[in-house]
Amino acid sequence: MDQGTEKFYGDAKKHWESIPPTVDGMLGGFAKISPTDINGSREFIRPFITMGGGETETNRALDCGAGIGRITKRLLLPIFKEVDMVELSQNFLDQAPAFIGEEFSRVKNRFCSGLQDFCPAEGHYNVIWCQWVLGHLKDDDLINFFQRCQKGLSENGLIFVKENVTSDEREFDSEDSSYTRSLDNLRSLIEKAGLKILLDRKQKGFPKSLYNVYMFALW
């Protein structure tokens, strides 16, 4: 790993180590958007899974950049029998049992890893959910991560992405060492990874002061 890349990932790790393990911390001070976010994600995923008439089973899901488990608790555990979490900060993972509560017994694995280094077990997950975390990957690492995720899917499995997007050029945030990519840039990287976009949709109901947020279903 070259020095620039090492600094890019190291700065992100330092940033998240300074963030409190709360929903407000996970959402950068915007805890109030969490219900709208979860509702939008639930509506988006439902047509693809068996309970909504789709073909994707609901046995196992992976929450990427899971934090303390906001998405695990409120989106994935109500749908899937088992959920695994992968998260850069051990502190966040340590807080997950208390935050998630009694349903934590269905969280089978907590992996402490950056996504640039993480490799899902092959053929294991019905759904891999990636939200507000892919900006922490450099382009080549994102492409490689997508390809590893594709191998990690079971039959009829899907990858879901939910990310901020810019209206023009991608932007770099030096505070948390992340990129916010344009819609075209994100679509291009998805295609370079060999994935197909089955559906994309803009999240509704967020404050106008925030970036636009798009959801993707990928296969």
Pick out the residues of the known binding site for S-adenosyl-L-methionine.
65, 70, 115-116, 131
Q: Is 33 exposed, middle or buried (0-12, 13-18, 19+ CB in 10 A)?
A: middle
By DSSP bridging, strand 82-87 and strand 107-112 are: parallel
Instruction: Identify the bridge partners of residue 171 per DSSP, sorted by sequence position.
Output: 180
* Dihedral angle sign, alpha carbons of residues 60, 98, 26, 206: positive
What Cα–Cα distance (Å) separates residue 138 from each residue in 20, 90, 117, 144, 210? 25, 22, 12, 10, 23
Type of residue numbered 45: I
Binding-site residue ranges = 65, 70, 115-116, 131
